[in-house]
Amino acid sequence: MSQQVTDNELIQRYLKGDEEALRLLYEQHIPGVFRFISRLAPSDIDPEDIVQEAFLKAWKHLARFDQSHSFKTWLFTIAKNTLFDAIKKKRPLTFSELNTGQEDQEPLEIDIADERPLPSELLEEKESQVRLEALLDQLSPPQKTVVTLHLFEDLTFREIGEVVGESMETVKTRYRRALAVLLRLLQKPPAS
């Protein structure tokens, strides 16, 4: 909440002409937005460009920002949309990318055999961080967005709902399904 007040205060100060307030405001949020975009962006898109464009858009619309909402989620929404627009411009979306929530309708089944080792063991045994990153890349963009925002940026499901424009329940389901997909993928032997 204090963060929220600080953000709003900084916005007010900037709108009254204090240029330093914008630097403080942006420097607080640049790392989070950059981490989010760099995890989500495909290799042919430069996350730096996306973050720069997103912050520029935020600056352009700062005066119209509804301060009853969280500045952080607003910023993440702009960044996410900027990235998805860039992906759309770069190449036509594949069916799986267009599928923004259909996977949420499928029954949730985690087929786990008891004899199998735990993920921690699996991780120790056969996969490195590179493998986990590669597995994350196999998630659909909506699933990856939810996982990234929740695990790496500590956004609550409600906040993520605001970012992606979905209900909190949908976001929760999508998150659980994403983890189920990851667990399933993790149990498969890595492709050599």
Of 116 and 158, the one with the shorter C-beta distance to other proteins is 116
Give the separation between CA 37 and CA 53, rounded to whole angstroms.
Answer: 12
Rounded to a whole number of angstroms, the minimum distance from the CB of residue 148 to other proteins is 9
Of 26 and 45, the one with the shorter C-beta distance to other proteins is 26
Of 14 and 103, the one with the shorter C-beta distance to other proteins is 14
Rounded to a whole number of angstroms, the minimum distance from the CB of residue 169 to other proteins is 18
Asked if 47 and 67 count as a contact pair (C-beta separation under 8 A), the reply is no
Give the separation between CA 20 and CA 13, rounded to whole angstroms.
Answer: 9
Lookup result for tokens 């500045």: 71
Rounded to a whole number of angstroms, the minimum distance from the CB of residue 88 to other proteins is 11
Rounded to a whole number of angstroms, the minimum distance from the CB of residue 56 to other proteins is 5
Cβ partners under 8 Å of residue 34, min gap 6: 47, 48, 51
Rounded to a whole number of angstroms, the minimum distance from the CB of residue 26 to other proteins is 6
Give the separation between CA 60 and CA 41, rounded to whole angstroms.
Answer: 23
Binding residues for other proteins, rule: CB under 8 A, are 23, 26-27, 30-31, 34-35, 38-39, 47-48, 51-53, 55-57, 59-61, 77-78, 81, 85, 110, 112, 114, 118-120, 123, 129, 132-133, 136, 147, 151-152, 165, 179, 182-183, 186
Of 1 and 43, the one with the shorter C-beta distance to other proteins is 43
Return the structure tokens found at 177. Answer: 């399904």
Distances (CA, A) of 131 to 11, 42, 137: 41, 16, 10
Of 129 and 192, the one with the shorter C-beta distance to other proteins is 129
Q: Which of 30, 39, 9 is nearest to 148 (CA)?
A: 39
